Chains A and B, each alone.
Chain A
Amino acid sequence: MHIKYESFVREPLVDGDKDYHQVSEDIVRPIEGKPGRMWYVGFFFSVILLCYGIFSVSWAVYWGLGTWGVNKTIGWGWDITNFVWWIGIGHAGTLISAILLLFRQGWRTGVNRAAEAMTIFAVMCAGQFPIWHMGRVWDGFWVLPLPNTRGTLWPNFDSPLLWDVFAISTYFTVSLLFWYSGLLPDFALIRDRANTKLRKMLYGLASFGWTGTAKSWQRMEALALVLAGLSTPLVLSVHTIVSFDFATSVIPGWHTTIFPPYFVAGAVFSGFAMVNTLLVITRRILHLEDYITIGHLEAMNKVIVLTGSIVGVAYLTELFIAWYSQSWGEMAAFQWRIMGPYWWSYWAMMTCNVVSPQLFWVKKLRRNVPFTFVMSIVVNIGMWFERFVIIVTSTYRDWIPGIWAYYSTTLTEVGFYLGTFGLFFTCYFLFAKYFPVIAIAEIKFVLKTSGENYKRDMQRIDAQSEEEFIHVVDSHHDDSHELAPAHH
C-alpha cells in the first residue's frame, strides 16, 4: 500500500500555515495587483536594452558582418559563444521539469514553472545568434527542408549545423507545449476568480476552457509523464548536438569525444545558476519565500557543485588527453590556451567554473541567499568564458601560421549580446507579472505531504510504533471503504 506520508525529517517544501485557498491567494496576488516600482524600472531597462539590440542587429544586417570582430581565421566570435551560452542556460528548465519529475523529486514543484519559462526565453535568445550570423538573413529559409526554385537542392542532412536547426526548434516546441499544458489549470483559476471583465476574457482564452474534470486531470498526468519521458533524452540531445558542431570538425581543441557529456554538464551547471539568479530576485519581489525556500536554493546549489565538478574533471581530462595523444597540434592548442595571448580567458574560466563552486561543499554557504546570488552570476561568467575559450582559442592560431590572428569584439557585437538580455528580461518581467510564477495546482498536490503545517502532524505519526501506525491506517481504511488519497 502506498501511503501519502513523508517523514518530518525531510524539510517542508512549503513554509508557513497554508491551506489550498491560501496557496491560490499567495501566487495569484501579484497578477491581480498593480506591479511595484521595481517592476516598472526593470521592465523599462529591459525594453531599452532590447531596442539597443534591435538597432545593433539592424546595423549588422545593413552593413554586413564586417561590423563584427570576426575575421577569416576566427569565424565564430561572440555570436556563437553567446549562442552556446544561452542554449546552455536553457537546459535547466527542462531538466527540472522533466528529469526531476521522473526522479520523483518533490522540490521541483516550487521552481519548475519559472525555470521552464526561463528555458523558453533563453532558447529564444540563443536562436537569434545563428540566424543573424547568416549575414544574408533573407536566405535563412535555406536551412529548411524545402525543395527550392534554384534547382532541386536540399539542405545537408549529414551536417551537425543542420542537426542543430532540428534540435533547437524541437526543443523550443516541446518545452513550450510542456510549459503551457501545465499552465492551463492555473489560468483557469485566475479566470474563475477574476473580478474584471478584461481579465476574465483574456484568462478565459488562455485557459482554453479548462474546468478540471476528473478525466482531464487523468489525461493531464499521462501527458505530463510522457512529455517528461520525451524531454529527458531531448534535453540531453540538444547540447550533445551543439557539441557536435565542434567535435565533428578536425580542429585541435574541438575534435574530442568528451564534448557531448562535458557540454551537457556545463549546460546544467549554467542553467541552474541562472535559475538561482532569477529565483533569488523573484521570491523576494513577489514575496514567495514560503514557496521558493532556502531548501530549494540549497538543492540547486548541490546540483551546481556536482556539475561544476564534472566540468572541472572534463577540463583536466582535455589537458591530459592532449598530452597523452602526443599529437603536436593538440598539445600546442592547449599550451596556447593556458599561456597564449588569451590566457586571461582560460584562467577566468578555470576560476569561475572549477574553483569557486567548490565553496558550495560548505552547508552554510549553500543556504546563504546573498552568497548564492553572487555565485550564480560568477558561474555564468565562467561558463561564458568557457565557450569563448573553446571557440576563439581553438581557431585563432590556425594550421597556417601566416594567417594567425587576434580577435576583439566590436560595439555592434556587444550590442547584440546586450539586446538578447533585453529580450530575455522583457519576456521574464511580463511572465512574472501576468503568469503564475509557481505551478499552483502542483503545489496543492504536494501541500498535504510537504506543507509545514501538515508536517507538524507527521511528527506525531513518526513517533508511533509500527503496529500503532498500521492500525491507524487500517481502521481509517475501513471507514472510507475506498481508496482515499491518504492510502493511495
Chain B
Amino acid sequence: MAIKKFAVAAYDDEEVLFPAVKKVRNSGYKIHDIYTPFAVHGLDEAMGLKGTDLHIAGFIYGLCGTSTAVGFISWIFTSDWPIIYGGKPHFALPAWIPITFELTVLFAAVGMTMTFCYLNQIMPGVKKHVFHKRQSDDLFVMAIELNDHTSEHDVLAYLKATGAKEVKIEVAEAGWWYGRWDKKEAYELQAAK
C-alpha cells in the first residue's frame, strides 16, 4: 500500500490527449498512468511504453500443450497400457493430431489469459483507485504523480493549458488491494474531509 498525491487531468478527445501526453512528458512530470474507456492506438508508444511480450508467453504455453498431449498419449499407448485399436500401430501419431491440436490451443489460451490477469493485476475481489468516474465512459484521464517539491498550482495550470477539461488534485492508493467496490476506503474518507 502506498498512498500518494496525484494531479489528475481529464481530456474529452483523443486528438487533444496525444499532444498533451507529449508536452507533459517533455516538461518532466511523471505520468503515473492514463486511463481510457477503450483501446487508443498509439497511446502506449506516445507514453514511451514498451510493447508486450504476452504473445511469446502464449507460444510457450502452446508448446507445453503440444508436448503434454504427445508425451502423455505415447507413454500410455506404447508403454503403460498398449492396446491395438482398429489395426492401428501403438504409436499412431496421425490419430493423435486432433487431441494434440486441442491441447495446444487450450494450454495457450488458458495460460495466456492467466498471465494477462497476473500482469494487469486483475482478479475478482481486486480493487484499484478510480481517478475519475467517467474514465471508463467518455474521458481520457491522466494521473501525474506529485512529490513534495511540485507546486500543485503550477501543475494544474499546466495541465489546463494542455487542453484538459477538468483538473484536480487527488490523494489515492497507487497500487491494488483486496476490497469491496461498494465500500469507501479509509484514505478516501480522509481525503473527503
Contact = CB atoms under 8 A, between A and B. Distances in A.
Contacts of B77: 157-158
Given A209-B126, A482-B46, A444 B38 contact: yes
Interface in A438-480: 441-442, 444-445, 479-480
A159 B92 CA distance: 11
- Among B38, B77, B124, B135, max chain A CB count under 10 A is at B38
A99 B82 CA distance: 40
Nearest to B119: A219
Nearest to A167: B102
B159 interface: no
Given A223-B112, A445-B38, A481-B22, A200 B137 contact: no
B185 interface: no
Contacts of A237: 98, 101-102
A218 B39 CA distance: 7
B39 A221 contact: yes
Interface in A360-374: none
Contacts of B119: 219
Interface in B110-137: 110, 112-113, 116-117, 119-130, 133-137
A153 B80 CA distance: 9
Contacts of B103: 166, 170
A152 B82 CA distance: 11
A216 B134 CA distance: 18
Interface string B134-163: 111110000000000000000000000000
B18 A234 contact: no
A222 interface: yes
Given A173-B109, A222-B54, A441 B38 contact: yes
| SS class, residues of chain A in contact with chain B | helix
Nearest to A181: B113
A17 interface: no
Given A218-B44, A230-B108, A441-B39, A208 B99 contact: no
Given A204-B182, A219-B52, A482 B19 contact: yes
B49 interface: yes
A77 B46 CA distance: 60
Contacts of A204: 127, 180-182
A348 to B, nearest CB: 32
B8 interface: no
A214 B49 contact: yes
B81 to A, nearest CB: 5
Contacts of B76: 145, 154, 157
A246 to B, nearest CB: 15
Contact of A217 (B40, B73, B80, B113): B40
Interface of A: 19-21, 24, 145, 152-154, 156-160, 162-163, 166-167, 169-170, 173-174, 177-178, 181, 184-185, 188-189, 191-193, 197-198, 200-201, 203-206, 208-223, 225-227, 230-231, 233-234, 237, 241, 244, 441-442, 444-445, 479-486, 488
Interface of B: 14-15, 18-19, 21-22, 33-47, 49, 51-52, 54-55, 58, 62, 72-73, 76-77, 80-81, 83, 85-86, 88, 92, 95-96, 98-99, 101-103, 105-106, 108-110, 112-113, 116-117, 119-130, 133-138, 176, 180-182
Given A212-B37, A244-B98, 15 more contacts: A21-B137, A158-B77, A170-B103, A173-B109, A174-B106, A177-B109, A177-B110, A189-B37, A212-B135, A213-B33, A215-B49, A217-B38, A217-B40, A226-B54, A227-B109
19 contacts: A24-B37, A154-B76, A154-B80, A157-B73, A163-B98, A185-B136, A191-B136, A200-B182, A204-B180, A204-B182, A209-B122, A212-B136, A214-B34, A214-B35, A222-B52, A230-B58, A480-B15, A480-B22, A484-B14
